[in-house]
């Protein structure tokens, strides 16, 4: 074969194989995604040109096989920044985010990053809108972490705990904690779900979860004690509310408030009874009392803001209220978008 003929054959082979390669490449990319072989890649973040995500991907590619090692090194850097007093700086958060993106199956960075946003950075500002944004960031970090680790209880629990302890959005807390108990989990989570419902207050659901705890472990004294308390103190009032005998219900709770005037559950229950009776001013009075009694009772503050809004009064700015309102608005917008 002449040299020019050989060249022609080489070109034909080159072009032919290149064209033939493309469907194979596409099939492999698809298979990797479907079979779960693809390394975690924050594609949506890339599409949003999120700087830490882009850097994480490039570092990941540069490090080739050592993404986990790179993530560990970055994590150690965040530790040293924390201990040198630089923990509240935004650079710290970028490092944390990069760690989560480099090794998304490592749960600790997700948990700590979310905690850092919702707790540490939260107290660095007094602006409720900024605080609400930080709560949103913390929640979103955990939701993203869950998307990478959907079959582990830890991040569901962490998100439930953030809703329970920080945002005090008890229905959301109960929802995420209930998601956590679908997997192998420590038994205290079920009790926490019951606690969330009793603080709402939704005593029937709380009792249902406490009963579940007792069935699961008959020697669960915490659940037994809580069941007795609810049945004695609040269930009579709950039954009276269901019968629309609101004055009697309020009186039933008032008996306990006389003995324990700062009882959070008692105050919540009174607020709930008056809300059911459509006596919003009276309900506001009790929710305000609950908010003043306990510095961290963000749920009571949320209720205060909600009732002020309902009464057409000036709405005080509370981070948890701003956050929950935004979430409600987002849900409404999503529903409207879906309907349209």
Partner 1 sequence: MRAIFRVARATYYEGWRKRFLNGILVFAILIIGSSWVFTYLQPGAELKMLIDVGLGSIRFFGMLIAVFLGSRLVPDEIEKRTIYTLLSKPVTRMQFLLGKFFGGLATVVSNMALMGLTFYIVFMIKAPQFAQPTEDSPAYKMEFMYENIAKAVLLSFFEMAVVMGIAVVASVVFSWILAAIFSFFVYFTGQMSEFFGHLADPDTGASPVARVVLLTVYRVLPHFENFDVRESILTDVPVIWSYVGMTIGMGVLYITIVLALGYLFFNQREV
* Site residues for partner 1 per CB under 8 A: 3, 6-7, 10-11, 13-14, 17-18, 20-22, 24-25, 27-29, 31-32, 35-41, 43, 46-47, 57-58, 60-62, 64-69, 72, 76, 105-106, 184
Q: What is the DSSP-derived secondary structure letter of residue 230?
A: I
**Residue 297 Ramachandran class (φ > 0 left, ψ -120 to 50 alpha, else beta):** beta
Q: Is the Cβ of residue 15 or residue 335 nearer to partner 1 in the bound state?
A: 15
Cβ nearer to partner 1, comparing 21 with 311: 21
Q: How far is the CB of 10 from partner 1 (least distance, A)?
A: 5
Least separation in angstroms between residue 276's CB and partner 1 is 45
Taking Cα atoms as reference points, which of 189, 215, 194 lies closest to residue 206?
A: 194
Cβ proximity to partner 1, 57 vs 253, nearer residue: 57
Smallest gap from residue 338 Cβ to partner 1 (A): 20
Of 5 and 258, the one with the shorter C-beta distance to partner 1 is 5
Nearest by Cα to 279 from 314, 241, 232, 316 = 241
Shortest separation between residue 209's beta carbon and partner 1, angstroms: 24
Q: Least distance (Å) from partner 1 to the CB of residue 102?
A: 11
Residues 283/271, Cβ–Cβ less than 8 Å: yes
The whole-angstrom separation of Cα 324 and Cα 330 is 10
CB closer to partner 1, 47 vs 339: 47
Cα–Cα distance between 336 and 276 in angstroms, integer? Answer: 28
Q: How far is the CB of 60 from partner 1 (least distance, A)?
A: 8
The whole-angstrom separation of Cα 246 and Cα 234 is 13
Residue placing its CB nearer to partner 1 in the complex, 36 or 218: 36
| 117: nearest Cα among 97, 137, 132, 101 | 137
Contact at 8 Å (CB) between 68 and 40? no
**For residue 169, what are the contacts with CB-CB under 8 A and spacing of at least 6?**
163, 299, 302, 320, 323, 324
């Amino acid at each position: 074969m002449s040299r020019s003929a050989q060249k022609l054959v080489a070109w034909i082979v080159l072009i032919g194989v290149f064209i033939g390669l493309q469907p194979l490449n596409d099939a492999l990319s698809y298979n990797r995604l479907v079979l779960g072989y693809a390394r975690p890649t924050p594609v949506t973040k890339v599409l949003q040109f999120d700087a830490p995500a882009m850097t994480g991907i490039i570092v990941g590619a540069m490090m080739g096989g050592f993404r986990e090692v790179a993530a560990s090194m970055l994590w150690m850097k965040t530790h040293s920044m924390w201990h040198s007093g630089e923990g509240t700086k935004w650079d710290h958060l970028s490092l944390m985010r990069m760690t989560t993106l480099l090794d998304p199956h490592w749960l600790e960075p997700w948990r700590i990053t979310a905690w850092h946003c919702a707790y540490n950075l939260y107290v660095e500002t007094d602006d409720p809108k900024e605080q609400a944004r930080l709560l949103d960031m913390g929640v979103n970090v955990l939701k993203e972490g869950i998307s990478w680790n959907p079959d582990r209880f830890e991040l569901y629990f962490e998100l439930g705990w953030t809703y329970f302890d920080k945002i005090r959005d008890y229905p959301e807390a109960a929802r995420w904690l209930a998601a956590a108990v679908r997997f192998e989990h420590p038994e205290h989570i079920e009790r926490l779900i019951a606690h969330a419902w009793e603080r709402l207050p939704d005593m029937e659901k709380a009792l249902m979860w406490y009963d579940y705890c007792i069935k699961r472990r008959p020697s669960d004294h915490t659940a037994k004690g809580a069941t007795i308390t609810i049945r004695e103190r609040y269930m009579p009032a709950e039954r009276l509310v269901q019968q629309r005998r609101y004055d009697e219900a309020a009186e039933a709770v008032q008996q306990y408030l006389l003995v324990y005037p700062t009882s959070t559950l008692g105050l919540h229950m009174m607020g709930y009874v008056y809300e059911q009776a459509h006596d919003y001013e009276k309900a506001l009075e009790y929710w305000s009392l609950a908010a003043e009694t306990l510095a961290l009772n963000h749920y009571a503050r949320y209720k205060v803001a909600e009732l002020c809004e309902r009464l057409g009064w000036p709405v005080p700015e509370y981070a948890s209220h701003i956050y929950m309102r935004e979430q409600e608005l987002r849900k409404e917008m999503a529903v409207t978008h879906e309907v349209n």
